A and B are shown apart, each in its own frame.
Chain A
Amino acid sequence: QKEVEQNSGPLSVPEGAIASLNCTYSDRVSQSFFWYRQYSGKSPELIMSIYSNGDKEDGRFTAQLNKASQYVSLLIRDSQPSDSATYLCAVRNSGGYQKVTFGTGTKLQVIP
C-alpha cells in the first residue's frame, strides 16, 4: 500500500463547476496535510495546509480532513481554466525528521 494515494486522473470538469480531489494516507498518526498545485514544467506551489479534522476554507479552495477515515480532500469552487494543473497531496508523518510524503498527483482539466 502506498503511503499517500491519489487518483492520477485526468479529472475533467466544466468551467464554473466544483472540482473534488481526493487523497488517502496510510500512517494513522500523520500530523499535517498539504495540497500543492503544480503547473506543467513548474515547481509545486503550496495552496492549502490543514492539521485538524473538518474543513478549512481559503477563497475558492476548501480542504477537508477526516483522520478517522484517513483521507483528505480539496474542493475547488467556480473552477477556472487557470486551475488546470496537477494537484499533489502531501502528508507529514510522525517521524522525527519532519518527513513529508507526496502523492503522485491528480491532473485536473477545467474545460471552458
Chain B
Amino acid sequence: NAGVTQTPKFQVLKTGQSMTLQCAQDMNHNSMYWYRQDPGMGLRLIYYSASEGTTDKGEVPNGYNVSRLNKREFSLRLESAAPSQTSVYFCASSSGQGLYEQYFGPGTRLTVT
C-alpha cells in the first residue's frame, strides 16, 4: 500500500518547455488535488477532481491543465513553463466523504530557468 505516489521527484525545465507531473493513489479515494507550495505562501490549490470524470479550477490554475485519467491517476501538465512556476508540487487524495482528510504524495521539486 504505497498511498500517494508522484513522479518525477525533481525536474529542471527551460522557459517554454512542457512537462507532465504524474500522480497515482491506491487508497480507492474519489477526490484528488494538485497544490503548489512556495515559501511564505503556504499550499495553494491549482486544480482538483472531486470524482472520476470531473475536474475544476482551484485558486491558481493559470498555466496548468489536468487530466483525471481514471480513479487512481491525476496528472498535471505545464504547457509552456515559466520561471514563476518554479515551486514544489504536491498531489493529494481524499475519500471525498466524512471529514475529507487529505493525504499527500512526496512532491515534485520543479525549477524553471
Contact = CB atoms under 8 A, between A and B. Distances in A.
Interface stretch (A10-18, A73-81, A101-109): A101-109
B112 interface: no
B56 A105 contact: no
B106 interface: yes
Contact of A100 (B40, B41, B56, B100): B100
Interface in A84-112: 88, 90, 92, 97-100, 102-105
A38 B48 CA distance: 22
Interface in B76-113: 90, 94, 96, 99-107
A49 B96 contact: no
B48 A97 contact: yes
Q: How large is the interface on A (under 10, 10 to 19, 20 to 34, 35 or more residues)?
A: 20 to 34
Contact of A43 (B45, B56, B96, B107): B107
B101 A44 contact: no
A93 to B, nearest CB: 10
A34 interface: yes
Given A42-B106, A97-B50, A98-B50, A34 B101 contact: yes
Nearest to B4: A43
B43 A44 contact: yes
Contacts, number: 49
B42 interface: yes
Contacts of B48: 97-98
A36 B45 CA distance: 16
Contacts of B50: 97-98
11 contacts: A32-B100, A32-B101, A34-B101, A46-B101, A46-B103, A92-B100, A98-B100, A100-B102, A102-B43, A104-B40, A104-B42
Interface of A: 32, 34, 36, 42-46, 49, 51, 88, 90, 92, 97-100, 102-105
List of 10 A-B pairs having minimum Cβ-Cβ separation, nearest first: A104-B42, A102-B43, A43-B104, A32-B99, A98-B100, A102-B42, A43-B107, A44-B104, A49-B99, A43-B106
